[in-house]
Chains A and B, each alone.
Chain A
C-alpha cells in the first residue's frame, strides 16, 4: 500500500482553489458550460433561447470577475434583455415553438460536425496549453508591469486624418482642460495657461489618469472611448451608421407587401411560386 500523502501538503495543494474569485469562476464557468451544452442539445427552440439567457447571465458574472462592470451590465441589458426578446418574439411569431419534425436529408452531417468540433477544440486547446508564460495577476489584481503597454496611436491617426501630430496633441490638451475644469473645478485662467504651455508636448489625457483597476467602470470606458489620442472614436462613430443600416434593412426585409404594390410579386403569388423578388425586396424595381 503506498504511503498516504501528508495532510499538510494536501491542504497546500487545495488551498489555491479555495480563493473566493476561483470559487466564483468555477461556479459560473461550469454554469456557462452546462447551459451552453443544454442549449445546443435541446430540440425545442424556446427552451434553447431560455438556456442561452442563463448562459449570458453566467458570462456576465465572469465579466464582473474580470472588472468589466460596464460590459457585464450591457451584457444583461442588451443581450439577455433586448436580443433574446427579439429571438423569442420571432420564434413565437413564426410559430416555431415545436421541435422540427421534417426529414433530415443530411443524416451523416451530425456525427461529422461533432467530430469536426472536437478536432477544432483540440487545436485551440493545444494552442492554449503550448503557451507557457501567460501573464499572472498579483495579490491586488494588477497586471504585471512588463505587460503594461499603453496603446498610443496618435501619430498614425494624425497621418490618416491629414493632420500634424501637434494638432492632435493640442486637441488632446484642450480635451483634458475641459475635463479637469468640469471635475475639479480649477480656475479657468490657470488651465488656459497650462494648455498654452502644453501646446506642443504630450499632454496626459483623462484616459491616462484612470487606474487600470477602474478601466471597466462607466467613467473608464467613456474616457477611453472618446479619447482622441486612442483609435476607438472612429469605429464608435462607424458603429452608429452600421446600426442605422441594420434598422432600415430589417424594416425593409420584414415589411409586408401591399397587394398591387408589385406586379411581379402578385403574379407569382397567384401561381404559388417563390421567386427571388419575394425574398429580396427591391429586386422588382
Chain B
C-alpha cells in the first residue's frame, strides 16, 4: 500500500520504533487501553453467558458498554478527535434507557411467576 503522506509515515515509524506496548513520552500507550477494554468486554460476555439471574446479566451488559466507552474515548484522545466522547454520551443515555425498561420487564415477570430465573422464562420459546 502506498503511504499517503511519506513524511508523516516516517515520523510515525520513528515514534513507534519502540515496541507499541512500551510507554513513550511518559504517556500510557493506546494498546494498553485497548487490551484493558478487551478483557473487560470479555468478562462481561462471560458474565452474560454464565449467570442465571437476569439482574446480574444486566450488570454484565453494563460492563460491556463501559468497555466499549473506554475504547471509544481512548481512540478519540489518541486521534485528537471529539467523536469518541460524543458517541460515549449517547451510549450512556441508551444504557440508562435500557436499564429502566429492562428492570420494568423484570418486575412484571416477577409479578406473574414469582421467579426470574432466565431458564424458566420460556413463554416466547418457539
Contacts and interface: CB of A to CB of B under 8 A. Distances in A.
Interface residues of A, number: 108
Given A71-B73, A100-B117, A141 B38 contact: no
Interface in B79-126: 79-83, 85-86, 88-90, 92-101, 103-113, 115-117, 119-120, 123
B56 to A, nearest CB: 5
A contact patch SS: helix
Contact of A86 (B76, B78, B88, B99): B99
B51 to A, nearest CB: 7
Interface residues of B, number: 91
Interface of B: 5, 8-9, 11-13, 15-16, 20, 22-36, 38-47, 49-53, 55-56, 58-60, 62-63, 66, 69-70, 73-74, 76-83, 85-86, 88-90, 92-101, 103-113, 115-117, 119-120, 123
20 contacts: A33-B43, A37-B43, A39-B59, A40-B43, A52-B59, A55-B66, A66-B77, A71-B85, A79-B92, A94-B116, A102-B117, A139-B25, A142-B80, A147-B78, A215-B76, A225-B86, A236-B89, A249-B100, A250-B100, A279-B105
Interface of A: 16-17, 19-22, 25, 29, 32-33, 36-37, 39-40, 45, 48-49, 52, 55-56, 59, 62-63, 65-68, 70-71, 74-75, 78-79, 82-83, 86-87, 90-91, 93-94, 96, 100, 102, 104-106, 109-110, 113-114, 116-118, 120-121, 124-125, 128-129, 131-139, 141-149, 151, 207, 212, 215-216, 220-221, 224-225, 232, 235-236, 239, 242-243, 245-247, 249-254, 256, 274, 276, 278-279, 281
